[in-house]
Amino acid sequence: MREPVRGWLFRGGVALLFGLLVLPLGIVVATAFDASRAVVFPPTELSLRWFLELLESPTWLRSLGNSVVVAAGTSVLSTLVGVTAALGTRSMDGRYRTAAVGLAVVPLLVPGIVIGVTLLTFLSRFGLQQSYPALVVAHSLWATPLTFSVMQAAFARFDWQLHEAALDLGASRVRAFVSVVVPEVRASLAVAALVAFIVSLQEFVMALFLSGPDTRTVPVQAWNSLRQSLDPLVSVVSTILVVAVVALVLLGSALVGLERLAAET
């Protein structure tokens, strides 16, 4: 009897925790469909009014576009660096590999405010503050350790004798990698790119320091709006981001399977 009781208690605890995590998101989504000018819950009248308002707001549309541009740049840059780093550490042994892997995850341990201030000071010398490259570099500092971990796991499962055979047959290293390795790890590449994209979409602290009027991402624009009032458009944009993240996770699970996606991220 004890084992079934413990199992039900565990499942109940997990369900309760999951409910507590999802409840705030549900409230935000519900307020996005409220017709009133104030943010209220529960909604007094369901309406798509604020979604239509969003389509007529150049400020919010620009922020959405900025977030997509920065997230796409972050996805490309961090995936390239993550793949290169994973290839570099593959040939290392012992303490050198351990040190390299530890160094790769250091940016995750540094507070975002420290990275933001440091990059702002450094990039200001070159006039790159409040630019897209500044945001892409900043977001990549947090996304690259994750893409590195995903690709390191993918390369560990790959049979590198196939790569060596391609080299023996006369292929160059680049051609052997593109023709033999990439097709076998393309699912992991997709997962790494999706993870980097999602990380960039939700990053706020560094973007607050490095974005300007023309490069503000959605989190920064939402923060600026909430400083003045509870703008219903914040709920609308937040709902769109939640839907986008869920869609990306479903896409990743469709590409590689849900269990493998969870294991690699």
Interatomic CA distance for residues 50 and 29, integer angstroms: 12
For the residues of 121-159, what is the DSSP string, one character each? HHHHTTT-TTSHHHHHHHHHHHHHHHHHHHHHHHHHHS-
Q: Is the pTM of this model over 0.85?
A: no
- Residue 170's pLDDT is what? 78
The domain spans of the chain are 58-264
Distance (Å, rounded) from C-alpha 84 to C-alpha 151?
9
pLDDT in the model for residue 77: 93
Evaluate whether 255 touches 247 at the Cβ level (below 8 Å): no
In CATH, the number for domain 58-264 is 1.10.3720.10
Task: Determine the Cα–Cα distance for residues 160 and 22; give it in Å rounded to an integer.
Answer: 43
Burial of 148 (0-12, 13-18, 19+ CB in 10 A): buried
Question: What pLDDT is recorded for position 249?
Answer: 75
Tokens read off for 19: 């409910």
What is the Cα 95 distance to its own chain's centre? 30
Cα–Cα distance for residue pair 263/247, rounded to 1 Å: 19
pLDDT at 124: 83
pLDDT at 214: 85
Which positions ≥6 away from 188 have C-beta within 8 Å? 150, 151, 153, 154, 256, 264
Below-50 pLDDT ranges, the chain: 258
* Residue 195 CA to its chain's centroid (Å): 5
H helix runs in 177-231, sequence order? 182-202, 205-210, 218-228
Per the structure block, which two tokens stand in for 120?
């702002």
Contact 79, 196 (CB under 8 A): yes
